[in-house]
Amino acid sequence: MHHARAGRKLPRASSLRPIVPEPQIGQSAVAWSRLARRIRVPLGFVFAAFYLWRAKPTWICLAIGTVLATMGIFVRAVAAGHVEKNRVLTMTGPYAYVRNPLYLGSIIIGIGFAVAARDLWVVITILLLFLVIYLPVIRLEEAFLRGQFREYDAYAQRVPSLLPRAMLFRQMTNGFSRELYLRHREYNSLLGAAAVVAALVVKILWFRG
């Protein structure tokens, strides 16, 4: 047990902040994870332009891709309606089945739009973005949660990170908060997906004409 030096005033317990350990990876990987977190949104806009340029949609592929993307949007929406970021460790709704339902939803959306695009380079780029950008961000965020919440280790042992064993609709939506959904502005995912679908429809009609 460490003791304070004589004459030094101990800080109040309420002023002490929990020390968040770095992820169990090298310092360069930590630095990249933080950089990836900052650049993922600008990269998303660049990828959207690349996607619309490369996409070769058909009505059937667009329909299948839209259904898959809608499933991903639903998962993200339900997750956003449960999570209270950095305040409590959310373990209800979809968080009872998977630790990162927001990212799971994004993966499903990505698969849907990859199907709609019918382009190998789009698929390769989506895989690279996940491995190089999103996976490091997930690791960094989980390291933060592990340091912020003592119960996170036990939670992580019983709940998988990205691939749920099962997901029950009723239990996923129990406790959903419309206020949280709006606060997190998760409707932007729906609006963004709708814009992409509309652009693909225009592209099909344009090339048909």
Amino acid at 182: L
Provide the pLDDT confidence category of residue 191 given band limits of 50, 70 and 90.
very high
Q: Is 11 helix (H, G, I), strand (E, B) or coil?
A: coil
Cα–Cα distance for residue pair 31/20, rounded to 1 Å:
15
**Closest-CA residue to 190 (of 61, 77, 42, 52):** 77
Taking phi first (over 0 means left), then psi (-120 to 50 degrees means alpha), and beta for anything else, what does residue 177 get? beta
Cα–Cα distance for residue pair 73/172, rounded to 1 Å:
14
Cα–Cα distance list, 79 to 65, 73, 127, 194 (Å)? 21, 10, 23, 20
Q: What is the pTM of this model?
A: 0.81
pLDDT at position 166? 78
Provide the pLDDT confidence category of residue 29 given band limits of 50, 70 and 90.
low
Query: Domain locations in the chain?
Result: 25-208
Provide the pLDDT confidence category of residue 35 given band limits of 50, 70 and 90.
confident
